[in-house]
Amino acid sequence: FGCEVFAYPMASIEWRKDGLDVQLPGDDPHISVQFRGGPQRFEVTGWLQIQAVRPSDEGIYRCLARNALGQVEAPASLTVLT
């Protein structure tokens, strides 16, 4: 999943799953999270990558962007077909 945020002041991005307050990737070795700034001013992009997807990965993932002025989130659904 990818998440792009334009905000001033610059925002931070967190990933969550199924409404839980546990920030990903947590201790799960097959989930990785990456971030980078730019290329536009005040832009940050975050990615959540799941390697070797399995049925237990199915759910609603949320990108949560936050700065000193507030927060906003965007959901994405993952369905695993077997």
In this prediction the pTM is 0.88
Q: Domain total for the chain?
A: 1
Average pLDDT value over all residues in the chain: 93
Note every long-range contact of 76-80, with CB atoms under 8 Å and residues 24 or more positions apart, other chains counting: 76/1, 78/1, 78/50, 78/53, 80/53, 80/54, 80/55
- 3-class SS at 73? strand
CATH number of residue 21's parent domain: 2.60.40.10
Question: pLDDT, tens digit, for every residue of 7-47?
Answer: 999 999 999 999 888 889 888 899 999 999 988 899 999 99
Q: Residue 53: which domain range?
A: 2-78
Tell me what pLDDT residue 22 has.
83
